[in-house]
Structure 1
Amino acid sequence: MSNGIRKVFSHVTPNHTLFNVDMPLDCANIQRFTPDGKYLISFTACQQGIRLHLLLTTAYDDPKSEEVRSSSTPSTFHQFFSLHYTRMLSMPDNHLLCKEFCLITKNHKHMILVSSCISTGSSADHRQSIPHELDITIQLFDYAFYIVELETGKVVDQQSFRHDYIHLIDHAGISIVEELFSVLCIQTQEIHVFKIHDSGRFHLLQSFGQFLHNDDELLLSAYEEAENQWHNDQSSYCTSTNSLSSEKDLNDDIRNSSDSSIGDWGKALPREEADSSRLMTAKELDTLLRMEGYYESADDKEAKGAPPYGGLFQALLSKLYKRSIAAAKGLGLQYFYANLSLYSTLKMWRMQFLGRNRLLIKMTTLPPNFLSPLRTVDQHTKVQSNTLFVIFNMIRAEIEDVFDDTSSKVADLLLNSHSQRNNSSIQPVVDGGLYKNAGIGAQKTYLTARGTTIYDRKALEKLIKTWRRPESEGSDAIAMQKLSLFLPRPPEMQPHSPYLDPSLFRYPKRMLYLQDRTKVQMDQIPFHCRQTALYKFMLDARTSSDEVQSDLRHNSTTITFIIPNPVYPFIITQRQSLTDGSSININFHVYKHAS
């Protein structure tokens, strides 16, 4: 951003608030502005259609608008927006659009939406076909991802996932960089990587989880067919051979048993005449097993032992095994097997792109409340144990690096990231970073998809120093564990806005620490010019200016969603209740000429 443009945004600000705007009944779920700032995207109240509104003005230059300068009227919304179109989507039965999911493609021509419903079909057959999926009972869903043309609302393409669980809130289970789009399926433990063409079509490039290469499934299926054929041949041979002799041998044993002593080995006695202390002969045991159907049940698939590991998990175990052997100085095997039970509980939990060729995968033991429907914005204060971060090279289908949540590489991933906007390409850099003296040296590090400014770096460094203080029972390991909760970073909910740029405006430091600055537990947010420290404007999410606010910096009962326009001085704030998620009020923050 040039200095001239910065100067304009520093002077032209959304300095006037319209409280409690009366929204149209069929425009209840506001999503975001388009990247050019011209349209506002929202969902219909039934969550089965989309509405696109054209932004008409952001200032009060028209004398006809004089009556709405200080308060909202039923026509306030229409003073600023006009309906461009309403489109009902053709969705599967019982599907509803996810209210917190809306992404824009790289070319700004399409939006990505998703609908879901509770899976009603049985997943037993599906579970047998995927041996490495979760072994716990969770509510599964059916999902459908749509690519919708922004200008017309036409659905261009659709991709479905059935009997699975995907983190949709805050885009947590999704990652996007340029034209690449990935989805992490928690239940089946698969990462699906798509390419989105300029025409708006999905093209599946690769899936990682059960398999790593395109021909893995073909190779394993050929081996399985050969093994099954061998079992069938052995079973048919044993059946044809033993069926001819079993009856004759049994009759001969019974007929000759009267001339045999109890101590003779290899001679079968009738059960009613045999001594209870005598061991059963081999022929007698074989006959008994055949009568009980043991050999038939041994051929069942359930009797073939535990299913094999998936390809990605096998690659992780191989990486950890080789590292243990190399680093433990003779105790590698003991160290690896001592932690094998812990490794076996790890599941893919989050992921994000590191450039076009790599994935950052967070593997952890599933927390007991991971299906909780409501999550606060201050989860960075909690520590989640048993976590590994994996850097996976998609081109070579191999794991490049593995480190836990106490490693200083966690800080490198965050602090070495540069400003990356509009999902731009990211390349690896060689930099020791802040922790180059902590054993990392000049190793290769990778930039995260969401960049940080110098002010973000200072805020993170301050957090790290706070978490390290011994007087607060802190340490380097605890600091890295808490910092690791910022990773991986999902796609941003809202487009970049100059008014949320910390290099232009100074706002409460609490917002700098948040994973998503457009979701805050604050009702009033003052903004000051970074250069002059002068007060510029206030985002006020209260129902009116007369509402009593006991704590300016924190509100534990409500959450405020900030919906900024990326181009014009227009910001929408939507306050919701944390208890039931219901919307309390919507305010418009617009530009007003100085009188």
Structure 2
Amino acid sequence: MDPLNSHTYLRRDKSFNLFHLLTDRELGIDRRHYIHRRPSKNFCVDFFKCIPPNLTIANVEKHTNFIRKFSPDGKFLICFSRDQQSFESYKFLGTTNACKMLYKWKSEYVPPDCNTGLGHEIRQNIFSQLFQLHWSIQLTSTFMRALYREFSIFTEDGKYIIIASHMPIQEEHLPSYYTLNSIGRMHFEYDLFWYRFYMVRLSDGAVSDTIEFPYDFIKLSHNHGVTLRRNLMVVVSLFHQTINILKLCNGKFIRSNTIGRYPHGTDECICKHVPEYENCCQMLDTGNNGLKQKILIFLYRKVLNFQDEKRTEMIQLFYRRLFIYEAMQIYKLQFLDPDHLLIRYDLHKHPNVQTTELHKLFVVYNLVDNEIVRVSAENASDLLLYFVYYCDYFRDVRSIFTGRAPSSSSNNVQIRYAQMRIINAFPRGYFDAAYRLLPQIPLSVQSYSVSPFLDLNVFQYDTQMVSALERPRYSNCQPIRFNDRETNLLLYRMYLGIFDQENKDKHNLLMPGGPKELIAYVFHPYEPFFISVQKIGNRYVTNFHIRNEGTIVKR
């Protein structure tokens, strides 16, 4: 056997030496030893193996605030004050600013109970070494109105950030006149709030514009009820069942259109010229709104395309499901492109509707022509295939540093094979898998991290514990191992929460014997640094994971 073609030689031929990678990039040699005329973006992938965040600093001493996320360019860290009245921005100074202080620390973990020596100095000063307060503004002055700390959206140019505040409305203060756009509004089960959105300029913290949505319910958790594409922002009103389209121009909110009761904004002006319209009380209007009526027309015309006996059967099915369609409500939406919206209708609790036949509808709506393009049921296998093979178009997020999208079934073979195994494991294949996978769409805007240290084409790790999706997860008592995808060699470990390194067991100093804790991650867009925030009882423990040249990773 030729030793140069053996598997052992190929494993040893992979170099994590930074000097070797710089030489290969200068010569135009890629990771598979092919020569190119010019370096490609794939050259930067291997560089992240040389600079992993191999040091965990537990229970960092910092200001009492809620950390939200980094700006898309990685220059600022966005935070909310503890009382949720103020909004703060910290300038990120870079991981190299703390190299001198961290270099003498050789271990992979700085324990939380280290109150003397170098460990205590690191825990006490690491925040000030990495971050500097840029500005802080107070947006609310009453305890009734609070900032929603789980909502924040950056504009596409990265110059502004959109945040929101909400104030509960007491039932006795509600006006007697509402615009009810659907029969389902008679059975609304949520409390109403007065919402206010702020457009804040990142450079100086100035509030350039505000817009309000009174007496409404908008689901803001994890950017759920708001989506953005280019200069268009869409706010979904669950109470009024309307889609509010706003244009963002030079830091200003401009109301463009409202889809719901009327399919187009000009329809209301036309209806006002009808004499009967002025005497019509909208409170008593319990019929379908304009958008729902368009969906019903589209479904009925689709039924008429069938032939003979099949047509009769489908017409009967349409009328049998008609009361289900009427009871469905808009739940969530997202942009597919600047001209098309993917809207999801859900069947919520309704006193007159009890069925297990249909619970969701996925509608593609054209904003330019104001027409329904497609309506799919919750078991549509073709929509499932679109989501599996074109997942990057649904997420619509890319790194401004590498130009790469987060790992998904569109760009990663391992994720695609895993999803195909899940699909094939169901008795009826795609039909049953659609019930399982399609409820996760539409996707929330800006909810995926573009950190290169989560790239599954480069690193191998437990995706159940950490992933590009920015959602809290349950912490584990064991550190998360990050291995090289090609050689399976350990690159670094990530210790979660308060950990006893010597006993290799979870060591909770704040609440012994407590339940499983939730942990959230905040990843920097490109530097070897990210933050984990762990909730233990009523307290939040912040851990830093950073690159340290002096740390020795024991394999």
Aligned with 1:85: secondary structure?
Answer: strand
* 1:539-565 alpha-carbon deviations (Å, 9 max, x no partner): 2222134376479xxx98222211111
Contact 2:101 2:122 in 1 (8 A): no
Among residues 515, 518, 531, which one is paired with 1:572 in the alignment?
531
Offset at residue 71 of structure 1 (A): 7.2
Paired position in structure 2 for 1:8:
47
Offset at residue 416 of structure 1 (A): 2.8
Cα distance between partner residues in 2 of 1:510 and 1:410: 25
Root-mean-square deviation (CA, aligned residues, Å) is 3.2
Paired position in structure 1 for 2:549:
593
Matched, 1:62 2:35: no
Matched, 1:19 2:63: no
Change (3 A) 1:89 1:189: same
Among residues 348, 357, 368, which one is paired with 1:395 in the alignment?
368
Matched, 1:317 2:354: no
Cα distance between partner residues in 2 of 1:5 and 1:391: 38
* 1:350-407 alpha-carbon deviations (Å, 9 max, x no partner): 1000100000001011269xxxxxxxxxxxxxx9951110001111101010010111
TM-score, reference length from structure 2 = 0.77
Paired position in structure 2 for 1:519:
472
Structure 1 residues not aligned, in runs of 5+? 230-299, 369-382, 426-448
Paired position in structure 1 for 2:81:
44
Offset at residue 325 of structure 1 (A): 2.2
Among residues 345, 359, 376, which one is paired with 2:341 in the alignment?
359
Which AA in structure 1 matches 2:196? Answer: A
Paired position in structure 2 for 1:209:
260
Which AA in structure 2 matches 1:51? Answer: E
Matched, 1:482 2:461: no
Paired position in structure 1 for 2:232:
180
In terms of Rg, which structure is larger? 1
Contact 1:464 1:483 in 2 (8 A): no
* 1:191-223 alpha-carbon deviations (Å, 9 max, x no partner): 1122212x2111222211111122211222222
Offset at residue 333 of structure 1 (A): 3.4
Matched, 1:531 2:486: yes
Change (3 A) 1:423 1:202: farther
* 1:307-334 alpha-carbon deviations (Å, 9 max, x no partner): 3321100001101111122224234432
Change (3 A) 1:11 1:469: same
Paired position in structure 2 for 1:507:
461
Paired position in structure 1 for 2:199:
147
Contact 1:575 1:586 in 2 (8 A): yes
Change (3 A) 1:384 1:155: farther
Paired position in structure 1 for 2:316:
334
Aligned with 1:73: secondary structure?
Answer: helix
Cα distance between partner residues in 1 of 2:213 and 2:143: 14
Cα distance between partner residues in 1 of 2:518 and 2:294: 42
Offset at residue 110 of structure 1 (A): 0.6
Contact 1:18 1:587 in 2 (8 A): yes
**For this pair of structures, how many residues does the alignment match?**
474
Offset at residue 348 of structure 1 (A): 0.5
* 1:124-169 alpha-carbon deviations (Å, 9 max, x no partner): 5342564556222421111111110001111111111111111111
Change (3 A) 1:519 1:525: farther
Contact 2:483 2:489 in 1 (8 A): yes
Which AA in structure 1 matches 2:160? Answer: H
Contact 1:133 1:187 in 2 (8 A): no
Offset at residue 22 of structure 1 (A): 1.5
Offset at residue 57 of structure 1 (A): 3.6
Paired position in structure 2 for 1:409:
382
Contact 2:406 2:450 in 1 (8 A): no
Contact 1:450 1:489 in 2 (8 A): no
Cα distance between partner residues in 2 of 1:511 and 1:460: 19
- 1:157-556 to 2 correspondences below 5 Å: 157-197=209-249, 199-223=250-274, 225-226=275-276, 307-327=286-306, 328-366=310-348, 386-417=359-390, 419=392, 423=396, 452-454=408-410, 456=412, 458-469=414-425, 475-493=429-447, 495-510=449-464, 516=469, 519-523=472-476, 524-546=479-501, 549=505
Aligned with 1:134: secondary structure?
Answer: helix
Paired position in structure 2 for 1:274:
none
Which AA in structure 2 matches 1:496? Answer: V
Cα distance between partner residues in 2 of 1:63 and 1:112: 36
Aligned with 1:146: secondary structure?
Answer: strand
Contact 1:494 1:564 in 2 (8 A): no
Paired position in structure 1 for 2:517:
558
Aligned with 2:450: secondary structure?
Answer: coil
Contact 2:336 2:393 in 1 (8 A): no
Aligned with 2:273: secondary structure?
Answer: helix
Change (3 A) 1:179 1:539: farther
Cα distance between partner residues in 2 of 1:384 and 1:193: 33
Cα distance between partner residues in 2 of 1:227 and 1:119: 30
Change (3 A) 1:482 1:558: same
Paired position in structure 2 for 1:232:
none
Contact 1:133 1:189 in 2 (8 A): no
Aligned with 2:128: secondary structure?
Answer: helix
Contact 1:326 1:332 in 2 (8 A): no
Structure 2 residues not aligned, in runs of 5+? 1-39, 105-116, 351-355, 399-404, 508-513
Change (3 A) 1:468 1:350: same
Paired position in structure 2 for 1:256:
none
